Amino acid sequence: MGKTFKLTDILLTIPLDVLRAAIANQLPVAETQGLIVSLCRDPEQNDSPYHQIATVTFPGQEPAALSKCKEDVPVSWDLVGVGIVVADVDFYNMTPLYAATNPRCDIIAVTGLAGHGFGSWKSRGKHDMWLRDFLPQDLKKLQPRILTWGYDAKLTKSETQNNLVEYGRQFMDAVNAIREDKYRPIIFIGHSFGGLVIKQALCNPNTEINSMDEQIYNSCAGIFFFGVPNKGLNHENLLGMVEEAPSKALVEDLVLKTNALQVAYENFLQYFRTDDLHFTSYYETKLSPTVSKNATTGKFERTGLKVMMVTKDSAMWTSPNQAIQKMVPIDADHSEIVKFMSLTDVNYLDVRGRIERCMADSQRVILERWRKLGRPLEEPI
């Protein structure tokens, strides 16, 4: 199974067909058919854009020039007809997957702990990733911009000591950096811990009137959560993985269900009071294998006892107004709950339909919300 790479520093003058042809020239003819390439303007270059960001999924072995590209080790790649680009496999920060010419809504997805900004959403055993390969086809007429936010979510091979509050601040700063249209509706999608990060970002008690944070808060048209552990994870084995790791305190908050989750919930209740929101929480119905240490290799593997990683009760404990929250089961485990196999996958069809309805209504919702606040928009959305 081929890898997916993120390519940056692609000049704005390079069109998709030229980029794809340059990459295909690096492959055996037989493998060019399954090559998947996306290309979007770098979302952080709002004032004077001059670069683009691509994702590339190879059907088989990647070109030799990328063989040394590994976790935290990006490489430069000289593509004939394109120039020198930078390739990485980490997918940190914002990665645009699709953008209409004039986007009318942002869809931003956030993965969980030990997750990956691209791989966590990718179909199991296939090359497709529904946010990149399915949604743009189905929602094209509604003109979305679709992005993922990745962060250093590794449990053991990381030096980060971030807590939930710090991750929430980092995420909000990342969203602020890409908002050239500050009133454009936003739909947030969160898997597992990623949902907690979104909640934390939206319930900052220090948000000031007319601040950039408040504009994001009031532009939130929809939230879609998948297996979000609002009351914690049922996975005490994780504690054994992080005994000496900087992430130990964060994992303890999730597994031991410390006061941090209660505080996050109470802040969400108090500061995020939007009753016109499309809010859907999906919960898993299959058991997930826990992590256990292989006595021979010393490595941690998903071979432990199966448990309900995030219970229905934990996944549902989210909304300041439970009446507006839709609660939907997905017949999958904690990892597979956000992995859809095809455009006709029954779970994907449900998710797509709800996102589509949310997008169709988002312009009206945001306009009306700002009117109720007594602050009409400075510009059209």
Name, in order, each residue with C-beta under 8 angstroms of 146's C-beta and a sequence gap of 6 or more.
96, 97, 98, 99, 107, 109, 131, 132, 135, 136
Asked whether residue 116 falls in the same domain as residue 69, the answer is no
Q: pTM, whole model, 2 decimals?
A: 0.92
Asked whether residue 75 falls in the same domain as residue 107, the answer is no
Asked whether residue 82 falls in the same domain as residue 102, the answer is no
Instruction: Using DSSP bridges, classify how beta strands 4-11 and 51-57 pair: parallel, antiparallel or unpaired.
Output: antiparallel
Asked whether residue 239 falls in the same domain as residue 333, the answer is yes
**Ranges of H-type helices in 203-276:** 212-219, 238-241, 248-255, 259-271
Domain end among 88, 109, 134? 88
Rounded to a whole number of angstroms, the CA Rg of the chain reads: 21
> Is residue 265, in this structure, part of any structural domain at all?
yes
Q: How many domains does the chain have?
A: 2
Asked whether residue 200 falls in the same domain as residue 314, the answer is yes
**Pick from 243-257, 304-318, 339-353, 354-368: least confident:** 243-257
Domain end among 40, 69, 88? 88
Q: What is the pLDDT of residues 195-226, one digit of tens each?
A: 999 999 998 756 565 688 888 989 999 999 99
> Is residue 273, in this structure, part of any structural domain at all?
yes
Phi-psi region of 9 (alpha: psi -120 to 50; beta: other; left: phi over 0): left
Q: What is the pLDDT of residues 53-73, one digit of tens each?
A: 999 999 999 999 999 999 999
User: Which domain covers residue 56, as residue numbers?
Assistant: 4-88
Give the pLDDT score at 370.
Answer: 87
Asked whether residue 32 falls in the same domain as residue 118, the answer is no
Asked whether residue 268 falls in the same domain as residue 130, the answer is yes
Q: How many whole angstroms separate alpha carbon 336 and alpha carbon 332? A: 6
